[in-house]
Amino acid sequence: MKTLLSTPKKDGYRMPGEFEYHDGCWMIWPERTDNWRNGAKPAQHAFVDVAKAISEFEPVTMCVNQHQYVNARHMLPDYVRVVEMATNDAWMRDVGPTFVVHDGTGDIRGVDWAFNAWGGLIDGLYFPWDEDDRVAEKICDLEGKDRYRLNNFVLEGGSIHVDGEGTVITTEECLLSSGRNPSLSKQEIEETLKEYLGAEKVIWLKRGIYLDETNGHVDNICNFVRPGEVVLAWTDDESDPQYEISKECYEILTNEFDAKGRKLTVHKLYLPSPILITKEESEGVDTVDGTLPRVEGDRLAASYANYYTANGGVVIPQFNDPSDEKALALFSELYPERKVVGVYAREILLGGGNIHCITQQQPLAIPAIKPLELVGAR
Ligand code: KQY
């Protein structure tokens, strides 16, 4: 694996949309008891459910710390590849490489952003994070992909979404937060995104989901269904602080043009009713200085926008809420060519994220084949 000094844009690479065809999906096994309750056992079962659901559509690799290898290998089905890898926690979207593709040659490279646990010593969620910061490099090495490394630019994969055709969506709450790149202006951050994602246009939402501990990652509030079309987490309850946030996003998205000059179609994706941490759930988490505590009654950042788009399928978080069915129905309409699969995800939510946050797709290295031709061929 080479570390390249150029940029993806200069080299003719772009980040593909998640709805494009994948070679596979990467995940990390959860285990830390100061984030995952009851010795991380319920979370491990939830991660197994997600891995099985995605495996119906594409190969899944689970990275596991050394002392959990035997347990993970035992709990996961044999069709999931298990790889020993040191990590601090289990958020592959945020710590894994952002893969970029070259449409002419089909070559794939990784972008390896600096990772500081969502805010470093300012408002990061745990310390240390050094093993997590090495994950992207290790995956590029295992996969034989060259990488671009940004030592001085902090970014997590969940803070960006792209349409694969030049448009990036992100939030100011996250990318302009004081714990990430405080010495850079908004313009400089935007230029870096364009350069390393091979993009031309950045759409800035103001804020993400209410009380999202990532400083409002975009992947919890909005996602591209396909170029020109997004889902946006939504509530009609004007007394909910989320209402103003979603309304503000809606105004921005419906008044913006994407990189190709298209108006965006915005689908409202209704949120579940507020989900609060129970006493039992709170008591199951170890207290450790430097890790965000899980307090009884705290509201969790639940949203169906945090789903994974797989080859021929979409895997949607479920919360045992009446909105679950509505979400599945909307996704069935929006993705008629894919199978819609719900996975109960409260245990992942309790750790601070959801299905999108724990998965990172690796694009397929075949040039000139359109995703739908491949989906149809399966
Ligand atoms: O991307 C995410 N939503 C990850 C959240 C990290 C939570 C750590 N406790």
Q: Which of 33, 93, 213 has most ligand 1 atoms within 8 Å of its beta carbon, as the pocket-test mutant?
A: 213
Ligand 1 atom with least separation from CA of 351? 9
Reference 316, options 302, 306, 301, 326; nearest CA is 306
Tokens of 15: 């980040």
pTM of the entire structure?
0.95
Ligand 1 atom with least separation from CA of 35? 9
Above 60 in pLDDT, residue 152?
yes
Above 90 in pLDDT, residue 377?
no
Order of strands, edge to edge, in the sheet holding 22-28? Answer: 81-84, 60-64, 22-28, 360-363
Q: What is the pLDDT of residues 73-99, one digit of tens each?
A: 999 999 999 999 999 999 999 999 999
Average pLDDT in the 226-249 region? 98
Q: How far is the CA of 100 from the centre of ligand 1 (A)?
A: 23
Q: How far is the CA of 358 from the centre of ligand 1 (A)?
A: 9
* Smallest CA separation from ligand 1 atom 4, residue: 353
Q: How far is the CA of 10 from the centre of ligand 1 (A)?
A: 32
77-110 in b/e burial notation, b at 16+ Cβ within 10 A? eeebebbebebbbbbbbbbbbbbbbbeeeebbbb
Q: What is the CATH number of domain 3-376?
A: 3.75.10.10
Q: What is the pLDDT of residues 180-204, one digit of tens each?
A: 999 999 999 999 999 999 999 999 9
Counting residues of the chain whose pLDDT is more than 90, the rounded percentage is 94
Order of strands, edge to edge, in the sheet holding 161-162? Answer: 161-162, 167-171, 201-205
Ligand 1 atom with least separation from CA of 292? 9
Active site residues: 357
pLDDT of the residue at 378 = 43
Q: Which of 129, 357, 359 has most ligand 1 atoms within 8 Å of its beta carbon, as the pocket-test mutant?
A: 357
| pLDDT range class, residue 228, cuts 50, 70, 90 | very high
